[in-house]
Amino acid sequence: MKTISYDKFKNTVKELTIAAIYDLDEEVVESLKLASKKEEDLSKIILDEIIENAKIARERRIPICQDTGIVVVFLEIGNLVFCNFSIEKAINEAVKEAYVEEYFRMSVVGSPITRKNTFTNTPCIIHTKIVEGDSLKITVCPKGAGSENLSALKMLTPSVGKEGIIDFVIDTVINAGGKVCPPMIVGVGIGGNFEECALISKKALLRPISDQSNDEEALELEKTIFEKINNLNIGPMGVGGKTTCLAVKVNLAPCHIASLPVAVNFQCHASRHKEAIL
């Protein structure tokens, strides 16, 4: 049995939150640099500015984007881990401290109807999974509204098959256009039920750009959708070009015989997430 202290847990969440907002993943930066070499004119200028923005953010400790998001936290808690405190309260306190101390924009309202800001950027959205072992994995993902607002879910019928899935994803990308601040990363969840489908599409965005699915069907879909998206000529920030998306990640889940849920979750070029294992 491993005991994790309140301070250790809270400070880790706080550090991950701050790092995610300042430090764009190096693999994303390298992907942007490769894309820049393929582009020209305004598309290339935009990509080079995005790369420079990430450099300035890291060096000067300035948020990558002014929309510092609502914080989504994924926990994988080993069954041999003991925490004698409220994990939810610790996460919210950590995020509150990070946003107040670093002067990040407060983007959370307490009610979707009255729209009053909480001024703490909490509560966070927390997903917890119990796994075997004596470790606790924390993944912190500040998620902005631009890419979330254009994301979509549809309950398809099984008869539409692969082509129906692909068509829905492409239609969703076309509808989003430049409003999701491309080049984007596209997370696709297929299967499960209504809520599981959305969740696995978001988890797909946490996969490294270089990661390829171990499932042959998912891998084929990733390659096909990626090619089709980059042939749409939406381009960086919607001005046209060869690079509309940096990656497509497809996650699959078992589902009911009579349903085919498909969710598309967009991530703009500011792909912000950090993780740690305690």
Q: How far is CA 262 from the centre of its chain?
A: 17
Chain region(s) in the chain for CATH 3.30.360: 2-20+64-143
Q: Residue 61: which residues within 8 A CB-CB, separation 6 or more?
A: 22
pLDDT in tens, 12-29: 999 999 999 999 999 999
Strand partners, 249: 187
Return the pLDDT at 24.
96
Return the pLDDT at 141.
98
Backbone phi, psi, residue 88, to 5°: -60, -45
Angle between helices 26-38 and 41-60 (to 10 degrees): 160
Report DSSP letters for 134-193, one per residue: S-EEEEEEEE-HHHHHT-EEEEE-GGGHHHHHHHHHHHHHHHHGGGG-SSEEEEEEEEE-
Nearest of 157, 154, 185, 159 to residue 171 by alpha carbon: 154
> Is residue 242 a contact partner of residue 137, using CB atoms and an 8 Å limit?
no
Strands 152-156, 274-277: parallel, antiparallel or unpaired by DSSP? unpaired
pLDDT in tens, 194-229: 999 999 999 999 999 999 999 999 999 999 999 999
Return the pLDDT at 161.
95
Q: Round to whole Å and give the CA distance between 44 and 27.
A: 19
Strand ranges in the chain using DSSP code E only, listed in sequence order: 2-3, 70-78, 81-82, 125-131, 136-143, 152-156, 184-192, 245-255, 260-267, 274-277
**Global model pTM greater than 0.85:** yes
Report DSSP letters for 229-244, one per residue: HHTS---GGGS--S-S
Return the pLDDT at 205.
98
The kind and range of the H/E element at 59 are helix 41-60
Q: How far is CA 145 from the centre of its chain?
A: 11
Q: Round to whole Å and give the CA distance between 105 and 67.
A: 7
Residues of the chain with pLDDT under 70: none
Return the pLDDT at 133.
96
Return the pLDDT at 129.
97
Other beta carbons within 10 Å of 2: 13
Torsion sign across C-alpha atoms 19, 22, 23, 28 = positive
**CATH T-level topology, domain 2-20+64-143:** Dihydrodipicolinate Reductase; domain 2 (3.30.360)
